[in-house]
Structure formats: C-alpha cells, structure tokens
Amino acid sequence: MEMEQIKAYAAAHAEEARQLTEVLCRIPAPFGKERARAEFCKSWLERYGAQNVRIDSADNMVLELNAAGSDALTVLMAHTDTVFPDTAPMEVRRKGGRLLCPGVGDDTANLAELLVAARFLLEQGISPKHGLVIAANSGEEGLGNLRGCRQLIADYRGRVARMISFDGYYNRLWNKAVGSARYRVTVRTRGGHSFRDFGAPNAIAQLAELIGTLYTVRPHWGPEGTVTTYNVGAIQGGTSVNTIAQEASMLYEYRSDEAAGLRGMEEAFRAVVEDFRARGAEIEVESLGVRPCGEGVDPVAQQALSDWSEVLLKKHTAGDIVVEPASTDCNIPLSLGIPAVSFGLCDGGGAHTRQEWIEAASLETGLGIALEAVLHVSE
Ligand SMILES: [Zn+2]
C-alpha cells in the first residue's frame, strides 16, 4: 500500500482514535481490574467484523488473524491497565491542543490506535501471511508483574517470532530490557520497654543496619557498560517512642540491563540477609515481583527489529528518536529469546501523574505509524 493511502486513512480516522481514547479513559482499569476495558475492546472489534476474539484468564483481549498453525507469529500489544487506583470513570479534558486525563498516554491512546489499526486490517480483508496476534493486555504497570504478557507468551509458547508493544511516546524506542526484583523485607524481634528491657534487640535498629550493609554493595557484574542499581524506597515500623520496636520493614528493589547484573545483585542480597540471620536476626523476605532481563535473543534479529522501528518512527515524526533500555512488557519475550521492542503512537508527557496529557494532533501521526506497522508485519 502506498504511503499516500496510509496517510489518508490516518487523517480520516484520527478523530475516531481521539473519541475511542476518550471512551476507553472512561472505563477504569486499575491493576487487577482490567476486564471491563478488555471486554469493551472485544465488542468494539467485533463491530467491525472481527472473529476469534477472546478474553483469556489474565483478562487480556486477544484477536487472532490467520494465526492458526503459524509458528512465526507477530504479537502486537498495548496495555489496558493504568497506574491509577480510581474505579470511577475519568473524563478527558481539552486544553489548547492537548487532551488531559490520567492514563491518557500510558497507555490508553496507544491502545485506541492499535484498535483502529486492527479495524483497518479487518476492513481491507488483509490476512497476515505469518499470522498476527493483537492484544489489549493486562498487568503492565506497578505490581501487575507483567501478568498479561506472561499469559500471552505462555499461550503461544514457541510460536512467537517477534513482539511489538505500543507504549510510551513516538519519540522513544525501547529495545533492551531493564530487569528488576522487588521485595518487602520485614525484621521482627521480641521487643520490650525502652528502659526496663534496654539492650534487647530492636527491629528498627536491625533493619537500619541491614540497609546500611546493603548500601555497601558495589555492583560490578556483567559486561562493560552494564548498569545495575538498587534502592530502598520506603520503610516503616515501630510502635511508640518508648517501645523497643518489634517490627520494621522496607521495600527494596534492584535493577539491571543485563541478566548477570540481576544475578549478582540477588546473590549479594541473599548473602547479606543470610549473614544477619546467622547472627540471630529474624528476617522475612517477600518477593513483590520479578521482571527478567533479556537473555538468548538473536542479536541480529533484535537489531533488525530495532532498526526497522527507528526508521519507521523517524519517517513519521520530526526530531530525534531516543533509543534506550526500559522495563516494559518486552522483558518477558526478551527473557525467552524472542525479539521485542516498544514504542508509542502519540506525543505527550506526565505519564504516571494526574496531570498526564497528549497532543491531540499526535494521534494522526501515531495512527500512520500504527498502520504502517501492521501492514509491515502482515507481509
Ligand atoms: Zn505503559
């Protein structure tokens, strides 16, 4: 199809993408409650003749196009969940050329454009040569632990050749996974009165010492250029000023863009905890989620997918494309050796804040990108 036709379709359907973004914003989709949005996506696509649409056990909406029997599938996805816990509908407001609403760019507009691009394939009667799976997936944000993407990859095990996640903005391309591990660590002691039991172990003092020791870890694993970090993000504990604390806990995470970095941090963390336990501390370690790093991906195939995406984005947008590692749904395919990238179909800012916005005019540009992408992966 000619570029002219793609641009004409994008221009003719940008308003539809805007309206669809507004309708989707009104359907709350906090973590664990994405089903209503998935159901809406299913019936919207069925209105345009989609068959084989289902909602799976992870609350993903899944549309298959010529997927049966293929073992070289392309998975296109945009996530339904937002970081906001609100269960009341959220309205999009217009201000100048902007659309404002929590979650509007991350990832609602991208989802709307993926749906319009799917509608385009249905209307054109295009049967993707190697099969296509189009998904509105759950669980990308926060403690969702990539639930939806994990389910998709499990359901199509061994059959996925590449995955593209529409997320973020169109001037960013995420082509490498930042993996992470998150924990709640709780220290418990017998406690007592601050004066009468002075000298008895204090959970806050023990946790503080544990944190101090963790902060002596110097990440050095993985090849040159590997970035590995850690953070204690929250602490709580204690009862009163004159009580020897019985309990104290923290939220702790570490991240790396290389699997070796994550493994190194895990070993260092375990060693510190074991050392404290050996000295009598009672420590509970609770995993709050693991996002794996990439491992075993064919570097040539991954580079080709990344390069193609960058060229596509440059063709449709002005300015530079920032290519960088990130923690996204792509962590799952990349950890299983499946090439994957993530980029957005809109321009905006303030993701994960209540001031989030997108440029209304960017929907037409983004739709052009989406259409060219779905045509390319259908060849
Ligand atoms: Zn997102």
User: Ligand 1 centroid vs 360 CA: distance in angstroms?
Assistant: 18
pLDDT at residue number 168? 95
- Check whether 144 has a pLDDT greater than 90: no
Q: Within its chain, how far is the Cα of 285 from the centroid?
A: 24
Cα–Cα distance between 182 and 229 in angstroms, integer?
A: 12
At which residue do the structure tokens 């806050």 appear?
A: 204
- Check whether 309 has a pLDDT greater than 80: yes
User: Ligand 1 centroid vs 169 CA: distance in angstroms?
Assistant: 10
User: Ligand 1 centroid vs 110 CA: distance in angstroms?
Assistant: 9
- Check whether 145 has a pLDDT greater than 90: no
User: Ligand 1 centroid vs 178 CA: distance in angstroms?
Assistant: 14
- pLDDT tens-digit map of 109-134: 999 999 999 999 999 999 999 999 99
Q: 179-291: what CATH class?
A: alpha beta
Cα–Cα distance between 303 and 323 in angstroms, integer?
A: 12
pLDDT at residue number 250? 98
Banded model confidence at residue 76, pLDDT cuts 50, 70, 90: very high
Q: Stretch 248-271: mean pLDDT, rounded?
A: 97
- pLDDT tens-digit map of 93-109: 999 999 999 999 999 99
- Check whether 323 has a pLDDT greater than 80: yes
Q: Stretch 11-32: mean pLDDT, rounded?
A: 97
Whether residue 222 contacts residue 261, with contact meaning beta carbons closer than 8 Å, is answered with: yes
User: Ligand 1 centroid vs 78 CA: distance in angstroms?
Assistant: 8
| H-helix or E-strand spanning residue 285 | strand 282-291
- pLDDT > 90: what percent of the chain? 97
User: Ligand 1 centroid vs 54 CA: distance in angstroms?
Assistant: 22
Banded model confidence at residue 10, pLDDT cuts 50, 70, 90: very high
User: Ligand 1 centroid vs 345 CA: distance in angstroms?
Assistant: 12
Exposed/middle/buried for residue 141 (C-beta within 10 Å: 0-12, 13-18, 19+): buried
Whether residue 248 contacts residue 187, with contact meaning beta carbons closer than 8 Å, is answered with: yes
- pLDDT tens-digit map of 28-38: 999 899 999 99
Banded model confidence at residue 63, pLDDT cuts 50, 70, 90: very high
pLDDT at residue number 343? 98
User: Ligand 1 centroid vs 356 CA: distance in angstroms?
Assistant: 12
pLDDT at residue number 247? 98
- pLDDT tens-digit map of 327-348: 999 999 999 999 999 999 999 9
User: Ligand 1 centroid vs 134 CA: distance in angstroms?
Assistant: 16
User: Ligand 1 centroid vs 108 CA: distance in angstroms?
Assistant: 9
Ion ligand 1 neighbours, Cβ < 5 Å: 106-107, 167
User: Ligand 1 centroid vs 139 CA: distance in angstroms?
Assistant: 10
User: Ligand 1 centroid vs 245 CA: distance in angstroms?
Assistant: 39
236-242: Cβ within 8 A, 24+ apart: 237/187, 237/203, 237/204, 237/207, 238/203, 238/204, 239/191, 241/194, 242/193, 242/194, 242/195
Cα–Cα distance between 125 and 255 in angstroms, integer?
A: 44
User: Ligand 1 centroid vs 343 CA: distance in angstroms?
Assistant: 10
Cα–Cα distance between 320 and 172 in angstroms, integer?
A: 9
Residues recorded for the chain: 379
Strand pairing class (73-79; 132-137): parallel
User: Ligand 1 centroid vs 106 CA: distance in angstroms?
Assistant: 5
pLDDT at residue number 135? 98
User: Ligand 1 centroid vs 327 CA: distance in angstroms?
Assistant: 10
User: Ligand 1 centroid vs 284 CA: distance in angstroms?
Assistant: 31
pLDDT at residue number 114? 98
Fold of the 3-177+293-378 domain: Aminopeptidase (3.40.630)
Q: Stretch 351-361: mean pLDDT, rounded?
A: 96
pLDDT at residue number 189? 98
Banded model confidence at residue 2, pLDDT cuts 50, 70, 90: confident
Picking from 292, 365, 297, 362, the residue whose alpha carbon sits closest to that of residue 329 is 292
User: Ligand 1 centroid vs 82 CA: distance in angstroms?
Assistant: 7
Q: In the chain, what are the domain boundaries?
A: 3-177+293-378, 179-291
N-to-C CA span, the chain:
11
- Check whether 351 has a pLDDT greater than 80: yes
User: Ligand 1 centroid vs 324 CA: distance in angstroms?
Assistant: 15
Same fold, 3-177+293-378 and 179-291: no
DSSP state of 222: S
Tokens of 364: 């037409």
Residues sharing a CB contact under 8 Å with residue 29, sequence separation 6 or more, in sequence order = 36, 37, 80, 81, 82, 103
pLDDT at residue number 143? 75
Banded model confidence at residue 1, pLDDT cuts 50, 70, 90: confident
- pLDDT tens-digit map of 181-228: 999 999 999 999 999 999 999 999 999 999 999 999 999 999 999 999
Banded model confidence at residue 86, pLDDT cuts 50, 70, 90: very high
Please provide the DSSP assignment of 37-73 as one string: HHHHHHHHHHHTT--SEEE-TTS-EEEEES-TT-SSE
pLDDT at residue number 142? 78
DSSP state of 1: -
User: Ligand 1 centroid vs 141 CA: distance in angstroms?
Assistant: 7
